[in-house]
A = this chain, B = another copy of it.
Amino acid sequence: MDCENNLVSSSRPIQPTKMEHFEDQHGKEHDSALSVNRGVSQPPTVNPHFRRVKRHRLTTDEYMKGILEGNITILSQAITLVESLLPEHYHQAQEIIERCLPHSGRSIRIGITGVPGAGKSTFIEAIGNMVTRLGHKLSVLAIDPSSERSKGSILGDKTRMETLVHNPDVFIRPSPSAGSLGGVARKTRESIILCEAAGFDVIFIETVGVGQSETAVHSMVDLFLLLQIAGAGDELQGIKRGIMEMADMIAINKADSGNERRAEIARSHFANALNLFPMPDSGWKPKVYTCSAVEGNGLPEIWNGIEDFLKFTKQNGYYQQNRNRQSKYWMYESINEALRESFYRNELIENEIERYEQLVLADRKSSFVAAKELLTLYFDSIKR
């Protein structure tokens, strides 16, 4: 039921009214340009001073110049605009995305998942710093909507990745806080475009390995890495079955000194489990690695494995096919969300939907009749 960014804007101006309901639902919109931490438990501004200064809104040209120059502050502001629920931001956000598109697509997009406790933040920090030492620029995005994030997404606690936060070649962006998983996922995907245009050539999309969000991540990455821990019980692996089937690579973390044997047991356990799955469409048989993010062991091998996978799938054509299929998926996702949004943000609907919901909950109107009446209201109003 959440209504996100609007693709319809060019054809149908949205009434800029009744935002209260949305703000209640989705959190009040930040008006500071530096509110990059929106969505995590930090104040909406890094420096309250900026709140006063920032009255001037950047033009699209200014945004584009900043993004293409790799200006992280302006990139942040642009992503904030893309995530915004305010009607007046839609047009400009869409314009920026479209103008970034020709500069996008040239990064390595890697999905990283793992249950809380798998050491995801340490892993991302360690491999992230290694990747930038190899000359890459890294962007770390997240995809967990609020409800899930509280369960343990690393980006909720940036302090756990302190060296990465201060790495000048790294841009970390928490998950958008508002909205359904579908909405959050779409915004994350749009953020990828912007980051790529800003020159980031490695993108990590992290997610907590507990829910539906893996499918969303899978729909926007070139490689999906599942982080596991040495000594995790069978039960855990049972739950992860669907996710394991999506994984192009598994890394057993916490193969720390003294724990190598357990890690090796876990590695062969997972390798055996992977043997039970059919060969993925990519034609690449997923491999299982062990590593110690804390001690830095095994990370170069994992990065080599990532590069091998990409080389292999680029050669056999899967890489591009996969990206094109993802685009098709997102075309439909964008349409469906814009349709919902056009409805749920319609002024008449916003005025009535609560009342109808109550009537249905009180058994005073059937769901069928309620839906039909609301739809009539909506279609009559947009025809006017």
Chain A residues within CB distance 8 Å of chain B: 1, 7-8, 10-12, 94, 97-98, 101, 190, 234-235, 237-239, 241, 320, 323-325, 327-332, 334-336, 338-340, 342-343, 356-357, 360-363, 366-372, 374-376, 378-380, 382-383
Q: For the complex, give the distance between the alpha carbons of A357 and B235 in Å.
A: 41
A1 touching B374 in the complex, CB below 8 Å, given contacts A327-B360, A361-B324, A367-B327: no
A101 touching B238 in the complex, CB below 8 Å, given contacts A371-B7, A383-B382: no
Q: Is the CB of B379 within 8 A of A11?
A: yes
For A372, the chain B residues whose CB sits under 8 A away are: 7, 10, 94, 334
Q: Is the CB of A331 within 8 A of B7?
A: no
Which listed residue, B360, B366, B376, touches A10 by the CB 8 Å rule?
Answer: B376
Which listed residue, B1, B98, B336, B363, touches A368 by the CB 8 Å rule?
Answer: B98
Name the residue on B nearest A235 (C-beta): B238
Q: Is the CB of A362 within 8 A of B324?
A: yes
5 A-B pairs whose Cβ atoms sit less than 8 Å apart in the complex: A328-B357, A328-B361, A331-B360, A339-B343, A339-B375
For A94, the chain B residues whose CB sits under 8 A away are: 368, 372
Given contacts A97-B368, A238-B241, A334-B368, 15 further A-B contacts (CB under 8 A): A1-B332, A7-B371, A7-B372, A8-B376, A11-B378, A12-B383, A190-B368, A323-B363, A324-B361, A328-B360, A331-B357, A331-B367, A339-B340, A339-B342, A339-B375
Q: Is the CB of B331 within 8 A of A340?
A: no
A376 touching B331 in the complex, CB below 8 Å, given contacts A101-B368, A340-B336, A371-B338: no
Q: List the 8 shortest-distance A-B pairs measured between CB atoms, nearest first.
A: A238-B238, A334-B371, A331-B367, A330-B367, A11-B376, A11-B379, A327-B367, A339-B339
For A239, the chain B residues whose CB sits under 8 A away are: 238, 241
How many Å from the CB of A159 to the closest CB on chain B? 31
Question: How many identical subunits does the complex contain?
Answer: 2
For A335, the chain B residues whose CB sits under 8 A away are: 343, 371, 374-375
Name the residue on B nearest A323 (C-beta): B363
Q: For the complex, give the distance between the alpha carbons of A368 and B95 in Å.
A: 11
Most buried by B among A323, A324, A332, A361: A332
How many Å from the CB of A18 to the closest CB on chain B? 18
For A12, the chain B residues whose CB sits under 8 A away are: 379, 383
For A101, the chain B residues whose CB sits under 8 A away are: 366, 368-369
How many Å from the CB of A353 to the closest CB on chain B? 9
Which listed residue, B325, B338, B360, B361, touches A361 by the CB 8 Å rule?
Answer: B325
How many Å from the CB of A20 to the closest CB on chain B? 20
Name the residue on B nearest A341 (C-beta): B339
Q: Is the CB of A375 within 8 A of B338?
A: yes
Q: For the complex, give the distance between the alpha carbons of A368 and B363 in Å.
A: 41
Most buried by B among A239, A327, A343, A370: A327
For A378, the chain B residues whose CB sits under 8 A away are: 11
Q: Is the CB of B368 within 8 A of A11?
A: no
For A343, the chain B residues whose CB sits under 8 A away are: 335, 339
Q: For the complex, give the distance between the alpha carbons of A356 and B97 in Å.
A: 19
Name the residue on B nearest A358 (C-beta): B328
Q: Is the CB of A320 within 8 A of B363?
A: yes
Q: Is the CB of A331 within 8 A of B370?
A: yes
A324 touching B363 in the complex, CB below 8 Å, given contacts A11-B376, A375-B338: yes
Q: For the complex, give the distance between the alpha carbons of A10 and B372 in Å.
A: 8
Name the residue on B nearest A338 (C-beta): B375
Q: For the complex, give the distance between the alpha carbons of A309 and B363 in Å.
A: 22
